[in-house]
Structure 1
Amino acid sequence: MKKNGILFLGFLCFAQMLWAQNTSMRIQDLRANLDDSHNDQVIVVAHRGDWRNAPENSLQAIQNCIDMGVDMVEIDVQETKDGHLVLMHDSKIDRTTKAKGYVRDWTLDSLKTLYLIDGLGHVTPNRIPTLEEALEVCKGKILVNLDKSYSIFDKCYAVAKSTGTLDQVVIKGAKSYAEVKREFGQYLDKVYFMPIVRLKDENAEEIVNGYLEQSVPVAFEFTVPADTVALIQKFAEIREKGASVWVNSLWANQNGGHDDEKAVLDNKVYDWFIQNHIDIIQTDRPKILIDYLRKNGLHK
């Protein structure tokens, strides 16, 4: 019996070692793709998780993304009255629960008594997760964009560090390089930072050039109000200089009308992204996008 116990413990140790190795390789592969703006592999980012099949920003919405092979999940972070970090897009809980009020006016314990609702307003078994809980689900499996986190990133950083997920975290902000360096400089060599550039703004190209001249980011997130915006023609050049190009397929006003809802009817809508050298797409329809990309050899 003792021999069998030793063999069983040995098997468990071996299995744990294999799991740790596989998860480490998964993140290494995802980071390598993110670091490479020159390859043809498109990174899929799921907006608020797989929110069409689970409540947005829920642990189930995150797990669904992991299961379908999404590269990065975008989640939103808010701070509670007692200083805890939870997943919630809005500053209020009115839209995603049956309760009301600002997240900042609720303690974590009180929020944990609530259930998230689905898109039709029906109560689900899902509760509001903490950032720590979410990062534990993501650990070793998927990259994580912490949205709405710029102003509280010191606290987000501490949670990511304690959960061992710093190498998976992406943070973004609509800031110039000078602002980011001043406000966020201590973190720039510890996590990925991506500037958000709104192409409708007159100084959009100036902001892009500021980064390319000072410190090339891993990627730019561009909002594209119309597909005739001149700066689109420089996406290929930006990628040549080492920064990937992120454009959302969420709503028509972010991609010149080439959005997810059109892709439901005809996924050739996504051709526009490929033709314009976009290699990171944030989507509300991750399964449709992944199927399209894999069919075209653009997602492993």
Structure 2
Amino acid sequence: MNFNFFKLLLFSLILILSVHSCKQNKESENEFSNNTDSLLKKLNDSQGKDVLVIAHRGDWRNFPENSVEAIESAINMGVDMVELDVKKTKDNHLIIMHDATLDRTTTGKGLVSEWTLDSIKKLYLKNGAGIYTKYRIPTLEEALNTCKGKILVNLDGAYDYFNEAFEIAKISGTTNQIVLKGYNKKASEVLSDFGEKLDTIIFMPIINLDTDNDPIQTISDYQSQLQVKAFEIVFSNDSSGVLTQFSKIKDNGSRVWVNSLWASLNAGHDDNEAVKNKDSIYGWFVNNGVNMIQTDRPEMLLEYLRERKLHN
């Protein structure tokens, strides 16, 4: 075979493969973008019949909590949002960590605030049983890059670090995916703290029915001043009149988020009880008008909702 012809053939093949690869990457990017758009559309539909599922600290039953791997697992199972906790290191880097100390979830000991990022990066995460794994502690930027275009992100504990978190979100191109939560704050305070940034990120108030003296007024203030997309409702007993107002809250433009994590957050309607009888727990949420559920058992909740055509 003529050598020049062979080189031309080889160059053509490489060019074809390159074009195909670029096309696949573009299609993948569009798919991710469309997924984010679809999730935001659902979140913005306060009366949507579909129930959004939030994985608490990611899929921590299969991977260490707040790890990149726990996030990826939640994405792969089709969760709508992942809840992540934010802490700051001694040298002012934001990492994903729930506790103020490293002892429970890592091979380190002491306060996160007394460790530099370089030192923290040498540690390993523990799994839910406290066993060391090969997985590392992610930065906020690493976590957001993992979520980019694929899933919504609820940042917990980030209120006081919001300006830094917002800059990281801008760098990663994920500002529109972030739901920032906060509690014990008036709507006017949130407006003062965040200003125009609220045009970019979504703020979600936490309403504790046990401690708020007038939760109905608090909800009304938020809806009139901020037009919030969702409220996280916490309650240790089910006697509060607010629990009968979920339809009205949704009529006024906000979804209703309830936690199924442990009994004190939901008057005993928790994930562990759902293992025994899913319909008595998750069915109770659905029947009472809840359309966002944060769970420690995302796979089980997704299965329940999909069987009832409440999640795709």
TM-score interval, normalised by the smaller of the two chains:
over 0.9
Letter in 2 for 1:57: N
User: Partner of 2:85: helix, strand, or coil?
Assistant: strand
What is the Cα deviation at residue 230 of structure 1?
A: 0.7
Deviates more, 1:69-78 or 1:215-224: 215-224
Which of 48, 60, 64 pairs up with 2:69? 60
Q: Distance in 2 between matches of 1:38 and 1:47?
A: 23
Letter in 2 for 1:283: T
Cα displacement string for residues 23-56 of structure 1 (whole angstroms, at most 9, x for unaligned residues): 1100000000000011100000000111111111
User: Partner of 1:211: helix, strand, or coil?
Assistant: helix
Does residue 290 in structure 1 map to residue 290 in structure 2?
no
Letter in 2 for 1:195: P
Q: Distance in 1 between matches of 2:226 and 2:76?
A: 35
Check conservation: 1:176, 1:195, Cα contact below 8 A: no
Does residue 275 in structure 1 map to residue 287 in structure 2?
yes
User: Partner of 2:213: helix, strand, or coil?
Assistant: coil
TM-score, scaled relative to structure 1: 0.98
2:192 aligns with: 182
User: Partner of 2:48: helix, strand, or coil?
Assistant: coil
Q: Note the residue ranges of structure 1 that are not aligned, 5 or more in a row.
A: none
Which of 155, 158, 162 pairs up with 1:146? 155
Q: Note the residue ranges of structure 2 that are not aligned, 5 or more in a row.
A: 1-9
Which of 147, 162, 173 pairs up with 1:164? 173
Deviates more, 1:161-170 or 1:197-206: 197-206
Does residue 107 in structure 1 map to residue 119 in structure 2?
no
Which of 19, 28, 42 pairs up with 1:10? 19
Corresponding pairs, count: 300
Determine which structure has more spread, i.e. the larger CA radius of gyration.
2
Q: Distance in 1 between matches of 2:195 and 2:100?
A: 26
Cα displacement string for residues 108-135 of structure 1 (whole angstroms, at most 9, x for unaligned residues): 1100111011122210011111111111
- The percentage of aligned residue pairs carrying the same residue is 47
**Correspondence list, 1:1-300, <5 A:** 1-174=10-183, 175-200=185-210, 201-268=212-279, 269-300=281-312
What is the Cα deviation at residue 103 of structure 1?
A: 0.7
User: Partner of 1:188: helix, strand, or coil?
Assistant: helix
User: Partner of 2:245: helix, strand, or coil?
Assistant: helix
What is the Cα deviation at residue 226 of structure 1?
A: 1.1
Q: Distance in 2 between matches of 1:150 and 1:115?
A: 27
Letter in 2 for 1:44: V
Cα displacement string for residues 233-258 of structure 1 (whole angstroms, at most 9, x for unaligned residues): 11100001110000101111111111
TM-score, scaled relative to structure 2: 0.94
What is the Cα deviation at residue 166 of structure 1?
A: 1.0
